Amino acid sequence: MLRLIAAVLIFWEPLRFAAEALAVFPTIAYRGAAAAIELAIHGCVAALAAAAGLALWNGSPDGRKLASIALVAVSLRTLQSLYWSALPDNTPPGDEWFAAALTVGLAIIAGVVIRLRR
């Protein structure tokens, strides 16, 4: 189960960021500084998630702590992009609560698995 969480951290968040960056980058000059800063922060979260996933995959001593931090960062990034974003998204209006609940729920489950697996 830890390998699955590590794989999700390694692949999902960086791929999500790459898709977001490819969609936004051609028009970043029109979106302003807030969008550029937000995109840079999302890139940092993706890098943190990939590093945490690799640390968890390789069994690093602090891999579990880093993965827990990455799960919180990814969840906060998702909540931020759902409710207070300068970047476009494809979430249908009214479905933000479902996406937020799903994100937080999965992060809690993954965090429990990380804490309980020794």
| pLDDT attached to residue 72 | 96
| Average pLDDT of every residue of the chain | 91
Nearest to 34 by CA among 79, 84, 70: 84
Q: At what angle do helices 96-116 and 63-83 cross, to 10 degrees?
A: 170
Mean pLDDT of 24-46: 93
pLDDT band of residue 47 (cuts 50, 70, 90) is very high
Residue type for 105, please?
A: G
| 90 pLDDT more than 80 | no
pLDDT band of residue 118 (cuts 50, 70, 90) is low
| pLDDT attached to residue 66 | 95
Mean pLDDT of 40-66: 95
| 102 pLDDT more than 90 | yes
